[in-house]
Structures are given as structure tokens and as C-alpha cells.
Amino acid sequence: MDRIAVIGGAELRGEIPISGAKNSAIKLMAASLLTDEPLRLTNMPRLADTRFLGKLLNRLGTTVEEHDGPDGPETVLQTKEIVSAIAPHELVREMRASFNVLGPLLARSRQAKVSLPGGDPIGARPLDFHLNAFAELGATIDINGGYVFAQAPRGLKGGHIVFPSISVGATEHILLAAVLARGETLIENAACEPEIVDLADCLNAMGARVEGAGTSTIKINGVPRLHGAAHAVVPDRIEAGTYAVAVAMAGGDVTLTGVRPEHMTAFLERLQAAGVQVDVSQNTIRVRRRPDVRLKAVDVETQPFPGFATDLQAQFMALMTLADGESVIRETIFENRFMHAGELARMGADISVQGGEARVRGVDGLTGAPVAASDVRASVCLVIAGLAARGQTVVEGVHHLDRGFERLEQKLSACGADIRRLTGDEP
């Protein structure tokens, strides 16, 4: 298993290009199941998660071609016909969001058999909102032997869906089916994340009629068929926020390019409140901190967009370990998302966790240690903590990191970080 070794102490200087958003790319790829024409996605991140989904789509009948196009990395997907409407366990368990092929399969083939993704270290993550919403669109749902069987022999019909609480995945999943349903679908209490808007934009470019994405009420007028399109994946606000924290922790002066600062307002406000200098332009964010200036402790509460993203909580906790004073971090989206706290403590952090609240008392410095990652965001928080720690940190469980961060070592070492990947048994 690969590990990442970081020797802390170097300031970061230079530019970091931000990739397309992982969380958007994998939903956009699933949209290719809705048409027999090619879907060309540009600004595509090259990640383990996009590879996993490519493998699954391939099994369902999609051809997936990756190119280095004139606009950077692109993927062209085409599903001339659905050759199988079965998503098997060995492919779905690799990545939870693979479950989102159920909606498009159901919409186009009128049936689907998709494995339940199973448990997840960051909480129970049920799928009840998804399944109840498909029932509202006229599907019959049976769960048996770890699989969901969904059928709508006469096709899906429009419906009125009111989500009990905000779910990014369920909002996207219903969009991915309702676009081909008969009649109008209204989604209330929809998630407003930029990735939802990105998906709706792509579906509209394919001929769908989606209105209101980015607000809590989305209206979809179903159409009989969709066509091919070209679409650029929205920049990854989580990757951008992660590197911003890396600079804030290590010190230095880095410009993040190819970003949408307006998608990161709540996060950037907290970063500035912590004493980090942030200058934004239309597509760049410049982050500066002098290492001799102590960070200030600020409190954070995760919220659905436009609030502070749960996917940046671990990174911000790492930052707060070096702040002056006590910071209270509240996680309101997932019930078990503080596993990184124990690993940060092994590097000298002073953190106590009670339920959904962590109290981080800033220390003068962290020390390098062997640490283990538990999920994609937790693993990157340990890497960036290592950048600011004395001595060497070795992060295990790097396969988590590869799910969501493209060329992490290259992007950081180009700015002066001492970071390298240890493969296999390399000491």
C-alpha cells in the first residue's frame, strides 16, 4: 500500500492549478447513461473515483475515452445502448456515489438492479430519500439480497418530492431520472451546492428542461429524449480550499488558479478571520501567511451550501491546531466525521471531541508522526498538517487520498513542499 511522506517546515510559494470537481464529475459521467449520443466532459479530474465509475459505466454499455484535448483533460462517454441494467456489488462498493446510476438506468431502461453501497466510515449515510423519491416518480422498489430492484414498466412520471432534510446526492439522483420522466417534477428542500447547478447546466445542454437549480426549489419538465453535449466540469472548491489551508498552515504565498471564489465564500471568510491574507479575482485566489504571525482561533459550523462545507472541516481542524486559543468545530452534516482528531493528536494537537463538537486548543507546534487516514478529506488533512510539523510525517491509507486529489504530491512539491510517495515496502 502506498504512503505519503512529508517533511514539514518549507513555506509554499507559486501557483497551484485547481482541477475539475470530483463530486461533480462523477454525477456528470452518470448523465451519459441518459442519451445514446456522445457526452464530452472537459476540465475532467483524473482520479480513482472517476476510474471506478468509468469501469462501472463500461459494464452498463458506456464507452469511456480519455483524451488530452485543446481545453485540457477531457472524457468522452457514449452509451449507444444499455447492455446491462445491473450494477454489481464489486463495482458499487468501491465508491458510494456509484449508486447514482440507478436513476438514469431506471429512466432509460425502465428497470435497474443496483447493489446497496454499504456502510461508510463517516456515518450511516442511508438512502431512504433516494428510494422514497423514486417511488414518488412511479417506480416500484424492492430490496433483496443487498440489491435494490427498481422498475417502472410504463416509464417514470413526474412527481412532487419534498426532501425531509437537505441531501446533495438525493437531489442529484432525482435530477438524473426526472429529466426523462413524463410531466413535471417539483423538488422542494433541494440542495443548492454548485455541483447541483453544474449537473443541471449539463443536463440542460443535453436538451433537458431544469429550472431553479442552485435554489431550494427545482422544477423539471420531462422530455422524451436527450442528446449529446459538451460541458466543462465546475472547479473543485474542496481541492481549492484544501490548498488554501495548506498555505495557511505552512506559510508562504500561493495563487490558486482556475477557481470560482464565489463558491467558497463561507470558507474564505473563516480563513480571513483566522488571520490569513486572501485576495480573490474572478478566477484566482491568492493566499498568504507569514509563518511568524500566529493564527487566530475561530469557530466553525458545517452547513449545506452556501455554509461552511463539511468536506473542508478536517482541513480547517488541522489549521486550528496551530491557532492562538480555543476553536469550537461543529459538524452538523455527518455524525461520525472526527476520526482525524485522534490522528492529529498523535502529531501533538490538543483536541477533545464530544458528539458533534470538537474543541481544538491551539499548540505552539506539531511534530511529525506515522498517521493513518480514514477517508478522503481526513487523509488530506494529515498531509497538510505534516507540511507544518517538525520532522517527518508518514500518512498511510493513501488510496483514500487518490480518490479525490489529483497529483497532490506534484502540485505541492512544485510550490516547495518536501513531499513524496512511498510505494510498496519502500522505507
Residues in contact with ligand UD1 by CB under 6 A are: 23, 97, 123, 125-130, 165, 167-170, 310-311, 333-334
Q: Least distance (Å) from ligand UD1 to the CB of residue 200? A: 15
Q: Least distance (Å) from ligand UD1 to the CB of residue 129? A: 3
Residues 6+ apart with CB under 8 A from 70: none
> Of 12 and 218, which has the nearer Cβ to ligand UD1?
218
Distance of CA 191 to the CA centre of its chain: 14
For residues 196 and 24, the answer to whether their CB atoms sit within 8 Å is no
> Of 45 and 169, which has the nearer Cβ to ligand UD1?
169
> Cα-Cα-Cα-Cα dihedral of 311, 312, 316, 317, to 10°?
0
> Of 8 and 129, which has the nearer Cβ to ligand UD1?
129
Query: Which helix (H) or strand (E) segment is 201 a member of?
Result: helix 194-205
CA-angle at 196, arms to 191 and 200, nearest 5°: 130
Q: Least distance (Å) from ligand UD1 to the CB of residue 213? A: 15
Which residue is closest to ligand UD1 by CB? 169
Q: Least distance (Å) from ligand UD1 to the CB of residue 124? A: 6
Is the bond leading into 121 cis (omega within 30 degrees of zero)?
A: no
Q: Least distance (Å) from ligand UD1 to the CB of residue 45? A: 12
Judged on CB neighbours under 10 Å (0-12, 13-18, 19+), 164 is exposed
Q: Least distance (Å) from ligand UD1 to the CB of residue 198? A: 11
> Of 226 and 376, which has the nearer Cβ to ligand UD1?
376
> Under DSSP, is residue 362 helix (H, G, I), strand (E, B) or coil?
coil
For residues 301 and 308, the answer to whether their CB atoms sit within 8 Å is yes
> Under DSSP, is residue 379 helix (H, G, I), strand (E, B) or coil?
helix
C-alpha cell at 27: 454525477
> Under DSSP, is residue 418 helix (H, G, I), strand (E, B) or coil?
strand
> Of 7 and 135, which has the nearer Cβ to ligand UD1?
135
> Of 46 and 125, which has the nearer Cβ to ligand UD1?
125
